[in-house]
Structure 1
Amino acid sequence: MSSSNHGLARKLGGWQLWGIAVGLVISGEYFGWSYGWAQAGTLGFLLSSIFVAIMYTAFIFSFTELTTAIPHAGGPFAYARRAFGPVGGFIAGFATLCEFVFAPPAIALAIGAYLNVQFPELSAKWIACGAYIVFMALNIVGVSVAAAFELVVTLLAIFELLLFMGVVSPGFSWDNFTHHGWAGSDSFSLSAVGGMFAAIPFAIWFFLAIEGAAMAAEEAKDPSRTIPRAYVAGILTLVALAMGVMIMAGGAGDWSKLANINDPLPQAMKLIVGSNSGWLHMLVWLGLLGLIASFHGIIMGYSRQIFALARAGYLPPMLAVIHPRFKTPHRAIIVGGMIGIAAIFSDDLIQIAGQPLTANIVTLSVFGAIVMYIVSMLALFQLRRSEPALARPFSAPAYPLLPGLALACAVICLIAMIWYNQLLALIFAGSLAVAYAYYLLTHRQRAAAASDVLLEGNDAARLKPAVARSK
């Protein structure tokens, strides 16, 4: 891990990590969540979002224990590998890859949709493709430059969300928000309950990928201090913004016009200030910063996950190469980007269950996230049992109640997602089966990988002679 070819530079401070944690997620406040209104209505989706916010708050306070104890670029992959061995690492690594590789195309398409408001003659797909090229290049240049940029655009994106809430507040009406608020009805019913479960993936989109800051832990200057502060401040920031944006947008007018679109905030503001207001144009331009912050941050996240999996032999070793000048995993950045661009241009070819491509990509990304959350919480419990002496600079508060709450909520979310997205669940399971076949065929690749004490824990010394013999 310390070799010039396989080591990441420690350059990130507390504010930069907070910027990464919030920036990874903040696009979820700009788009994606409004698809939940189509499933559950405003009131039903509000309850779904509160449930998911509780899950994420419990999860982050628990997940931080793992991140500070095992500050590894693989994040959840490293925790599961150390707790459950290679197969556990494979499951967590695959799930995390699904989350971080599928999320960027959805965000890139939203960037295209926002710019299309200003420039209707431009293709949203080509704008999305251009965004990939620009931000892959920025990530390759260096982690310090990338993290500084992430912090600046995250702060501007937060300012813009607060500005949106302020501009629409004079026209806010609680009657608008509650009208047909139970899955298209004014009264609560069993169908409203079904809608709330069906809307869970879009509530998760409000917070999806905050755990990606764990993949920057190997590049943090003092992970035992900076990561807990970044995570706790990050989840509190995101909960406040998510609830504020959703409620203010829903009360701006006819919320049903904002469901199933990629730019709900500009359209909500248009209901208050009209189509030609300078406020609207400001929102479109500054609103891009929120999308850019998440897009840029998730590129950083998926590249570190690909890099860590390749370094451990779970993916081709060529993807674990570090750029000799910039010290960034440039090949991992490029390969993940190629997959995302292919997904963008598959829009007209892939139609699943009659849903827009963005909605399907969001759901697949959430499948990966929920599986990873479950495995991570199980890893926390296992490591508490198997390695009680492991240094834990931050311990999950109210253990085992808080991690248990996060685990139970995640299991409920997974069951609901499978029930309401059966075809996409089969696609996710089929992809897992194909990946597992690759895993079985590449055991020599893993045997030849360098020993990593953070992955192997107490078994590292025992494994070193075997690794040496395999080479």
Structure 2
Amino acid sequence: MTAKLEKTLGAVSLWGIAVGLVISGEYFGWSYGWGISGTLGFLVTTIIVAAMYTCFIFSFTELTTAIPHAGGPFAYSRRAFGEKGGLIAGLATLIEFVFAPPAIAMAIGAYLNVQYPDLDPKIAAVGAYIVFMTLNILGVKLAAMFELCVTILAVIELLVFMGVVAPGFAISNFVANGWAGSNEFSFGTLSAIFAAIPFAIWFFLAIEGAAMAAEEAKDPQRTIPKAYIAGILTLVVLALGVMIFAGGAGDWSKLSGINDPLPQAMKMVVGHNSNWLHMLVWIGLFGLIASFHGIILGYSRQFFALSRAGYLPKSLSTLSRFKTPHRAILAGGVIGIIAIFSDGVVNLQGMSLTAAMITIAVFGAIVMYIMSMLSLFKLRRSEPNLNRTYRAPFYPIVPGIALVLAVLCLIAMVWFNQVITLIFLAMMFVGYVYFSMTKHQRENAEEDLMLVGDNH
């Protein structure tokens, strides 16, 4: 009998998952982009990436509602391009969702270290894995309710941050040396704008993960479009607001390359001992927790879907008595904890662990975005009668913009990150080798019409 997930999630819960998956990107990670392209250069990068994501989500929603499957992009690409297409999208999504959590866990450790200087951030990061893997195992309804609560608190906190630093905001602070450390735009600035792409993508990375909860959504054709469209609009406003207010609070160069830019920006305005600062550190943890917890849900559903279809060992699609894929949850956690303890041991292009994990996750995301948009175009031709209750607006222009910008982002990332490109390709190759050796698993898996369609 095919393992099936329970349908318990409504539109508000799905919005909480979509925004919660991403919202840690507003709290940390993006400021590494300032160190590369400056505030003004990174603002240009962010606007380009925000345009890509907006077009992508308005297009991706068509796939999610037509094929509400826990595999998300894996399911769309397999249906469009067959087993190997599914493999590329599935592995890329898995890499994205497995390597984003260690970066977030390290940021959780950094935030706690502000309050408790003697606490080892790595130990705090491992503790976060243990707590939130357990919560995910206890049931998706409980997990989604928790996700919604912490997401709402995280959104409120970002608005509070903007309000508190606003009196100290000065546009002169934001624009000072804003073009890659210079006051003037140059060819080098243009190069830096493209080099900073991974950190602008971090503002929005993983919003597509709500697709992996589609199998657990009530009335997905109606609830998913509402959740996705409200989610991307929420995130664009927050990303631009947080970045601009933080950059105008003081010397922005002191905020680039650290894991807690918002508390440090607030210190510039209210001082080191303000109650506002302590509130930001504690409530700011909710933003990190929302994403960390939500991405655990996302990677576990991807492991589950790939396992159920015979692409990974069958044991990973086993459900617990709480109807959650507990072994899939634990598998991603083991990889994440190993990544955390590799900090300081492995040197990737001179990057910090956080920056390296972000870049690896972004590689997975961009490949998946490209595969998803190609799947949208292919399925429009090969399955014109597929039940599409939501259609991408202004087709083919909007999905075309998303596809072109995603390809440009991938080219820029390969150009500026050769070592991590090789690591990403090595991971994909290992996945392909396993795929080639385990054809019998896919032959023995139960047929899933959402993966192959009625006309295959």
TM-score range, shorter chain: over 0.9
2:56 aligned with 1:59: yes
Q: Which residue of 2 aligns with 1:214?
A: 211
Question: Partners of 1:458 and 1:436 in 2: how far apart?
Answer: 27
2:442 aligned with 1:408: no
Q: Which residue of 2 aligns with 1:465?
A: none
Unaligned runs of 5+ residues in structure 2 are: none
Q: Which residue of 1 aligns with 2:164?
A: 167
Q: Which residue of 1 aligns with 2:181?
A: 184
2:451 aligned with 1:455: yes
Cα deviation, 1:224-251, whole Å, max 9, x if unaligned, reads 0000000000000000000000000000
Cα deviation, 1:3-58, whole Å, max 9, x if unaligned, reads 4x601000001100000000000000000000000010000000000000000000
Question: Partners of 1:165 and 1:86 in 2: how far apart?
Answer: 47
Count of residue correspondences = 456
2:315 aligned with 1:318: yes
2:103 aligned with 1:101: no
Q: Map 1:145-294; keep pairs closer than 5 Å.
A: 145-294=142-291
Q: Which residue of 2 aligns with 1:123?
A: 120
Q: What is the identity, as a one-letter code, of the residue corresponding to 1:108?
A: A
| Partner of residue 429 from structure 2, selected from 422, 429, 433 | 433
- Tell me, what secondary structure is at the counterpart of 1:33? coil
Question: Partners of 1:452 and 1:277 in 2: how far apart?
Answer: 57
Cα deviation, 1:40-80, whole Å, max 9, x if unaligned, reads 00000000000000000000000000000000000000000
Q: Which residue of 2 aligns with 1:357?
A: 353
2:388 aligned with 1:372: no
Question: Partners of 1:391 and 1:304 in 2: how far apart?
Answer: 24
Deviation at 1:452, TM superposition (A): 0.2
Q: Which residue of 2 aligns with 1:309?
A: 306
- Tell me, what secondary structure is at the counterpart of 1:275? coil
Q: What is the identity, as a one-letter code, of the residue corresponding to 1:446?
A: R
Question: Partners of 1:19 and 1:353 in 2: how far apart?
Answer: 35
Q: Which residue of 1 aligns with 2:130?
A: 133
Deviation at 1:458, TM superposition (A): 2.3
2:439 aligned with 1:443: yes
TM-score (norm 2): 0.99
Q: Which residue of 2 aligns with 1:469?
A: none
Question: Partners of 1:417 and 1:447 in 2: how far apart?
Answer: 37
Q: What is the identity, as a one-letter code, of the residue corresponding to 2:381?
A: R
Q: What is the identity, as a one-letter code, of the residue corresponding to 1:83?
A: A
Cα deviation, 1:387-437, whole Å, max 9, x if unaligned, reads 000000100000000000000000000000000101111111111111111
Q: Which residue of 1 aligns with 2:41?
A: 44
Question: Partners of 2:257 and 2:54 in 1: how far apart?
Answer: 27
Q: What is the identity, as a one-letter code, of the residue corresponding to 1:419?
A: W
Question: Partners of 2:427 and 2:334 in 1: how far apart?
Answer: 18
Q: Which residue of 2 aligns with 1:17?
A: 14
Question: Partners of 1:80 and 1:315 in 2: how far apart?
Answer: 17
Q: Which residue of 1 aligns with 2:325?
A: 329
Root-mean-square deviation (CA, aligned residues, Å) is 0.7
Q: Which residue of 1 aligns with 2:107?
A: 110
**Percent identity between the aligned chains?**
69
Deviation at 1:459, TM superposition (A): 4.6
Q: What is the identity, as a one-letter code, of the residue corresponding to 2:324?
A: T
2:82 aligned with 1:85: yes
- Tell me, what secondary structure is at the counterpart of 2:71? coil
Q: Which residue of 2 aligns with 1:390?
A: 386
Question: Partners of 1:238 and 1:416 in 2: how far apart?
Answer: 24
TM-score (norm 1): 0.96
Q: Which residue of 2 aligns with 1:464?
A: none
Report the more deviating stretch, 237-246 or 344-353: 344-353
Structure 1 consecutive aligned stretches of length 4 or more whose deviation exceeds 2 Å: none
Q: What is the identity, as a one-letter code, of the residue corresponding to 2:25?
A: G
Unaligned runs of 5+ residues in structure 1 are: 461-471
Question: Partners of 1:431 and 1:22 in 2: how far apart?
Answer: 28
- Tell me, what secondary structure is at the counterpart of 2:312? coil
Q: What is the identity, as a one-letter code, of the residue corresponding to 1:366?
A: V
Question: Partners of 2:24 and 2:73 in 1: how far apart?
Answer: 22
- Tell me, what secondary structure is at the counterpart of 1:85? helix
- Tell me, what secondary structure is at the counterpart of 1:327? coil
Q: What is the identity, as a one-letter code, of the residue corresponding to 1:16?
A: S
